[in-house]
Amino acid sequence: MYNEGDGFIEKRQLKFGDMEKILQVLGNIMNYLYSHYGKYEQTEKEVSKMFKTLIDPEVLEKGRKKGQEEGLQKGLQRGMEEGKIAVACNLLKLGVDIGTIAEATGLSQKEVEGLNKRA
């Protein structure tokens, strides 16, 4: 049985003996769900997948990597957008017309006009 002093939450580890108990609990949950809500074919797969994420460090690492990749992509997109805005502001200061700036940066004319009002 889980004791607070075992450090399960802090260490994210399970003792081998706990695994059997957890599987029994999951089996009981499945039986309860089947008896009260009927058999739903995806339930067993979903519970297995959820349980695997608790004990499989590979799943956790894949999730971290995916999150990092998504964050990097968003950061790159944001940086590109900020770069376009900086270039547009510089071109406005040089007196380049709004249509040319929009064409050169990929910003809309309305966006460039908004920058012109800020500058």
What single string gives the DSSP state of each residue in 20-77?
Answer: HHHHHHHHHHHHHHHHHH---HHHHHHHHHHHHHHH-HHHHHHHHHHHHHHHHHHHHH
In the prediction, which pLDDT does 52 show? 67
14 pLDDT exceeds 50? yes
Query: Is 0.75 surpassed by the pTM of this model?
Result: no
Q: What does the mean pLDDT of the chain come to? A: 79
Tens digit of each residue's pLDDT (9 = 90 or more) over 63-116: 889 999 999 999 999 999 999 999 999 999 999 999 999 999 999 999 999 998
In the prediction, which pLDDT does 1 show? 44
Name the more confident of 59 and 11.
59
d(CA 59, CA 103): 45
Nearest to 20 by CA among 43, 1, 6: 1
